Amino acid sequence: MSVSTLDRPLPRPLPQGEGRRKIRRHLRLWLWCYAMLLPVLAIYAFVRIWPIARTVMLSFYNWRLIARVRPFVGLANYERMFSDANFQIAIWNTTVYSLSIVLISTIIALPLAVVLARRGRMSAVYQTIYFLPVITPLVPMCIAWKWIYDYNYGILNYILSLVGIPPIAWLTDAHMALWALVIMGVWKVLGFNLVIFLVGIRNIPASYLEAASLDGANELQKFWRVTLPLLRPILLYVLVTATINAYNVFTQVYVMTLGSQDAPGQAVRVLVYDIYQNAFQYFRMGYASAEAVALTFIVLGLTLIQFRAFREREAG
C-alpha cells in the first residue's frame, strides 16, 4: 500500500535556537572550507583564468609590446584576420595537420591496441616501444627527425631507395613539408592513443566477448559489435585530446623551419606559429591575442561537435 505525500507525517520542526545553531555550524564549516580553498583558487585564477581574460582584453587593443600608446580598436583585430593571408594559410595548414594526425593516429592505434590487449609475451615490450616517443623531449626529437628527413643523408630516403623509390625532399619541398610534420606528429602521439585504447579495451568485461563468441561472432564482428561501441567514451576522449593537441602544434614547426636547409616557413605555417610570430617578432600583441581567441573558439567548436556527434550516436 502506497502512502501519499499528504499522508506522511510532517517533519518535526526544530526548536528555534537549535536550528539557528545548526545553520551557523554549517555556515562556519563552509566558510572554513572555502577559506582553505581560497589560496588554491586564487593561484588557479591568477595563472589560468587571468591570462585568458587578459588575452581576450588585449584582442580589442592595438597593443604593441614596445609602445607607449595602445589604443582600443574594438573588433579591428578580428576584422583583419579575414584579410590576412598568413592567418588563412595557418588555418588551412593547421586543419590539414590536425585532421591527418587525429585520423591516422586513431586508425593505427585502435587495431594495434586490440592486438596488444591479448597479453602476449612481447606485449609489454611493444607498449614500451610505442610509448617511448610520448615521453621523449620534443626539441631533440625534432632535430633527430630533421636528419631522418635529410634529402642526401637521411635514413628515410635510404630506406626508400632500397625499394627503388627516388629520394624525396621531405622538408624543403613545399608540398611535402607539411606531410613530413604529420608523419612525425603521428609517431609522437601514437603511443599515447594506443595506451588509452588499451586501458579501455582491458576494461571491457570478458563475458561480453565470450557471449559474442558463443553466438558465433568472428574477431572482426566482435570488434565492430562489442569492442568499438563500448570504447566510444574512450574514443571520444582520444579524439578530443588529440584534436586539441594537434591544433596547438608549434615546436615541430619552429624547429623544423629554423635553418637554411629546413622547411619553407610558409609551407608549414600553423596557427600557434603565426600567433608567436605576430606576438614576439612583430610585437603585435593585440592582433596575436585575437588570433589566440579565434584558435580557442575553433578548438572549442570542434570539441563540442565531437561531443554532440557521440551523444547523438548514443541516443540513436
Which residue among 104, 169, 204, 217 contacts another protein (CB under 8 A)? 169
Report the candidate in 87, 96, 97 with the shortest Cα–Cα distance to residue 271.
87
**C-beta closer to another protein: residue 109 or 267:** 267
The yes or no reply on residue 229 touching another protein (CB under 8 A) is no
Report the candidate in 117, 310, 122 with the shortest Cα–Cα distance to residue 200.
117
Which residue among 65, 75, 304, 309 contacts another protein (CB under 8 A)? 65
The yes or no reply on residue 88 touching another protein (CB under 8 A) is no
The yes or no reply on residue 55 touching another protein (CB under 8 A) is no
**C-beta closer to another protein: residue 37 or 143:** 143
Q: How far is the CB of 184 from another protein (least distance, A)?
A: 17
The count of residues in the chain is 316
Q: How far is the CB of 42 from another protein (least distance, A)?
A: 23
**C-beta closer to another protein: residue 161 or 221:** 161
Contacts within 8 Å (CB) and 24+ apart, 199-204: 199/234, 200/113, 200/230, 200/231, 200/233, 200/234, 200/235, 201/113, 201/114, 201/117, 201/227, 201/231, 202/117, 204/230, 204/231
Which region among 99-107, 206-214, 218-226, 274-282 touches another protein (by CB under 8 A)?
A: 274-282
Kindly give, in sequence order, each residue whose CB lies less than 8 Å from that of residue 56, ignoring residues fewer than 6 positions away. Answer: 289, 293
Rg (CA), the chain: 27
Residue 5 CA to chain centroid, in angstroms? 51
**C-beta closer to another protein: residue 84 or 217:** 84
**C-beta closer to another protein: residue 127 or 266:** 266
* CA gap 89, 280 in Å, rounded: 19
Binding pattern for the stretch 119-158 against another protein, x by CB under 8 A and - elsewhere: --------------------------------xx------
Interaction site with another protein (CB under 8 A)? 65-68, 85-86, 151-152, 167, 169, 171-174, 257-267, 269, 277, 280-283
